[in-house]
């Protein structure tokens, strides 16, 4: 079972992850990081309106990620390290292949900050006609594993159809924030459908904040689960290590 610390921009750096991995996680996600001029500019606008973001200029970001990966691997050599990233073109994401010991590149098709959506990135990647080429280009040109993080139930997007398309690109993981509008829990029915229909590793995300929600998440048939908000305190009030 993949037990993943989900990305939280401005929060999930190496020192945060090293602190929470002992709760029972075997995959730790750095980021989200912005990797090109457009997304860096968008991140700075987000910071200017008071929201946390990682802010690294283009000439620093790759060295920074390399150092963060080293910091995690030096303490937790057996934990897989993933980097959740945004870019409007595939090349900066392909360039992550030069980062030693980075196990997973995660393409962010999930963020819904207005500044990121305005440049066609984050969740709006799901609306791009060239999304399949974008993802395939990355898969074909990197040696590490590739994950795609999506948000479920986005207006105008058929989650199941997108999941099939992403599977066809040859990625290793589909990380789904199974958000269900109007509910304070994940869309377990949708996750179950995706798990039944799609053959790649599915990482289920959203509201794993109690033993009972964790059991429901696992009951959908996911290959792993991820947790974001419930780890912010550095603790969990439920146990994940027996899965």
* Residue 166 C-alpha from the chain's centroid: 14
Q: Retrieve residue 194's tokens.
A: 């995706």
Q: Does 213 bind ligand FMN (CB under 6 A)?
A: no
Distance of closest approach, residue 39 Cβ to ligand FMN, in angstroms? 11
Distance of closest approach, residue 32 Cβ to ligand FMN, in angstroms? 3
Q: Does 82 bind ligand FMN (CB under 6 A)?
A: no
Crossing angle of helices 159-168/188-197, nearest 10°? 30
Backbone angles phi, psi at 201, to 5 degrees: -65, 125
How far CA 223 is from CA of 2, 59, 167, 200, in Å, comes to 6, 37, 14, 9
Alpha carbons 107 and 39: distance in angstroms, whole number: 13
- Part of the chain binding ligand FMN (CB under 6 A), chosen from 93-101, 162-170, 191-199, 224-232: 224-232
Q: Which positions from 98 to 127 touch ligand FMN by CB under 6 A, shown as an x/- string?
A: ----------x-xx----------------
Beta strands at 2-5 and 224-227: parallel, antiparallel or unpaired: parallel
Q: Does 217 bind ligand FMN (CB under 6 A)?
A: no
Alpha carbons 191 and 217: distance in angstroms, whole number: 8
- Work out which of 23, 32, 82, 174 binds ligand FMN, going by CB under 6 A: 32
Task: Give the torsion through C-alpha atoms of 150, 104, 26, 15, to 10 deg.
Answer: -100
Distance of closest approach, residue 217 Cβ to ligand FMN, in angstroms? 10
Q: Does 207 bind ligand FMN (CB under 6 A)?
A: yes
Residue ranges binding ligand FMN (CB under 6 A): 6-9, 11, 31-32, 84, 108, 110-111, 149, 177, 205-208, 227-230
């Amino acid at each position: 079972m993949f037990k993943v610390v989900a990305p939280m921009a401005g929060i999930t750096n190496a020192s945060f992850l090293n602190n929470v991995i002992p709760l029972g996680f075997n995959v730790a996600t750095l980021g989200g990081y912005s990797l090109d001029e457009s997304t860096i500019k968008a991140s700075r606008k987000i910071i200017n309106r008071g929201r946390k973001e990682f802010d690294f200029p283009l000439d620093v970001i790759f060295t920074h990620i390399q150092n963060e990966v080293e910091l995690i691997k030096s303490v937790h050599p057996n934990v897989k390290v993933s980097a959740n990233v945004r870019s409007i073109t595939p090349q900066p994401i392909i360039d992550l292949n030069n980062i030693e010991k980075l196990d997973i590149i995660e393409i962010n098709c999930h963020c819904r900050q207005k500044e990121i959506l305005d440049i066609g990135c984050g969740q709006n990647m799901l609306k791009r006609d060239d999304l399949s080429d974008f993802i395939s280009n990355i898969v074909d040109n990197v040696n590490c594993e590739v994950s795609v993080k999506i948000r479920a139930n986005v207006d105008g997007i058929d989650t199941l159809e997108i999941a099939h398309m992403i599977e066809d690109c040859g990625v290793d993981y589909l990380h789904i924030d199974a958000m269900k509008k109007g509910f304070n829990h994940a869309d377990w029915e949708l996750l179950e459908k995706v798990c039944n229909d799609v053959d790649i590793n599915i990482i289920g995300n959203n509201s794993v904040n109690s033993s009972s929600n964790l059991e429901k998440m696992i009951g959908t048939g996911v290959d792993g689960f991820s947790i974001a908000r419930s780890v912010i305190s550095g603790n969990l009030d439920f146990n994940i290590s027996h899965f």
